[in-house]
Amino acid sequence: MREPVYFDYAATTPVDPRVAQKMSECLLTEGNFGNPASRSHKFGWEAEEAVEVARRQVSDLVNCDPREIVWTSGATESDNLAIKGVAQFYRKKGKHLITSKIEHKAVLDTCRHLERDGFEVTYLQPGEDGLIRAEQVQQAIREDTTLVSIMHVNNEIGVRNDIAAIGEVCRQEKVFFHVDAAQGAGKVPIDLSSLKVDLMSFSAHKMYGPKGVGALYVRRKPRVRLEAQMHGGGHERGMRSGTLATHQLVGMGEACRIAKLEMKAEAARTLALRQRLWDGFRDMEEVYANGDLEFHVPGIINISFNFVEGESLIMSLPEVAVSSGSACTSASLEPSYVLRALGMNDELAHSSLRFSVGRFTTEDDVDRVIEQVRGAVEKLRDLSPLWDMYKDGVDMNKIEWAAH
């Protein structure tokens, strides 16, 4: 068997060699290994300098002040800090939060935790296209709402929300707006000087940086205050204690610098690859792309192959690394909560795969994946009683299935 083709860039990306080089310079005795918080010697000053350069590189990518960037361990921690931090700091003002049903688990689970702590959360239902509209947010805002948390780009289907419009609504209603931008940052332009966003979560490993590092943007004007979730030495202006991991932050900084520099060309290239992939399937019967393809990030596409079950499809694709829309592989037999929230029926949700391409994907890779997926779908449809029934014109909605 050949080495599988990696089509799971939305799960994580490999580190760019330029990033790895910068990181490796911050580890050894002869490198920049000092503690950035050490004030009394050159080692500390140099490490601090490197960390501040990296902070500037992150802020340059999204056009904000470097003092608005707080380092974290990743987007999950950023989401936790933003949501719990704001909810708890402003709890006397109100205990109502708004989010959507298709947020990442880092947001949903944090909201669930706050619900157990006496907060009330409204979970907005996306349209069939996967998008949350500003009007929906407007209608859900109450007197006691303190925070709205809506993702920029959905990790399973790749749709991109209009965070500018949602931000306008939040600012007008004087409600803080948090955006999980783990999938969007570095892929599509984000300008925090014009967006009315108060908090934004970033992850390095979705943009060719290392795992284990991320950042939270916390707006200074108008000021957003947070209750710290990690206590200790008072690093990051008291918002997030813990020794700064110089090599990780330098890696994230370099990843952001490259992303900004190459964003335009890279977006065009990955979009062309995604289109090539979709073109390779669209002549097949009963194959659907999920979510709006216009408001979309370039590298992700989620496709349903009707009458074929996702887990067996992945099983017959040993040379293709993709993830299943259905969560069967994680031993829970439920189909994807994201696809179901879009109103998709269970069988179509069970039949979905997420393909995500990126910096190191080639046209040959795409062609190889098309060939293998087509072969696997044909094989499994030959095995599928549902495909037989579809071909015989049987209306499957009229059959009384014995749910088990």
Partner 1 sequence: MAYSDQVMDHYENPRNVGKMDDKDSQVGTGMVGAPACGDVMRLQIKVDEEGIIQDAKFKTYGCGSAIASSSLLTEWVKGRSIEAAESIKNTEIAEELALPPVKIHCSVLAEDAIKAAVSDYRDKKAASSDKA
Interaction site with partner 1 (CB under 8 A): 307-309, 311-312, 315-316, 326, 328-329, 331, 333, 335, 345-347, 350, 382-388, 396, 401-404
**Shortest Cβ 314–partner 1 spacing (Å):** 9
**Shortest Cβ 309–partner 1 spacing (Å):** 5
Q: Is 170 a catalytic residue?
A: no
- Coil, strand or helix at 122: strand
Compute the distance between CA of residue 338 and CA of residue 283 in angstroms, rounded to an integer.
Answer: 26
Compute the distance between CA of residue 105 and CA of residue 86 in angstroms, rounded to an integer.
Answer: 18
If the CB atoms of residues 204 and 308 are measured against partner 1, the closer one turns out to be 308
If the CB atoms of residues 215 and 313 are measured against partner 1, the closer one turns out to be 313
If the CB atoms of residues 233 and 318 are measured against partner 1, the closer one turns out to be 318
Compute the distance between CA of residue 272 and CA of residue 222 in angstroms, rounded to an integer.
Answer: 40
**Shortest Cβ 156–partner 1 spacing (Å):** 17
Q: Which of 26, 111, 256, 328 is catalytic?
A: 328
If residue 203 lies in a helix (H) or strand (E), which one and from where to where? strand 199-203
Residues 47 and 33: beta-carbon distance below 8 Å: yes
Compute the distance between CA of residue 188 and CA of residue 400 in angstroms, rounded to an integer.
Answer: 46
Residues 240 and 70: beta-carbon distance below 8 Å: yes
Residues 98 and 122: beta-carbon distance below 8 Å: yes
Compute the distance between CA of residue 377 and CA of residue 306 in angstroms, rounded to an integer.
Answer: 9
From residue 344, alpha-carbon distances to 304, 310, 321, 339, 351 in Å are: 10, 15, 24, 6, 11
- Coil, strand or helix at 187: coil
Residues 325 and 155: beta-carbon distance below 8 Å: no
If the CB atoms of residues 63 and 316 are measured against partner 1, the closer one turns out to be 316
Compute the distance between CA of residue 23 and CA of residue 74 in angstroms, rounded to an integer.
Answer: 17
If the CB atoms of residues 110 and 323 are measured against partner 1, the closer one turns out to be 323
If the CB atoms of residues 188 and 284 are measured against partner 1, the closer one turns out to be 284
If the CB atoms of residues 27 and 383 are measured against partner 1, the closer one turns out to be 383
Helix axes 246-279, 363-382, angle to 10 degrees: 60
**Shortest Cβ 310–partner 1 spacing (Å):** 8
- Coil, strand or helix at 123: strand
Compute the distance between CA of residue 152 and CA of residue 18 in angstroms, rounded to an integer.
Answer: 27
Residues 150 and 137: beta-carbon distance below 8 Å: yes
Give residues with Cβ within 8 angstroms of 371, minimum separation 6. none
Compute the distance between CA of residue 392 and CA of residue 126 in angstroms, rounded to an integer.
Answer: 34
Active site residues: 328
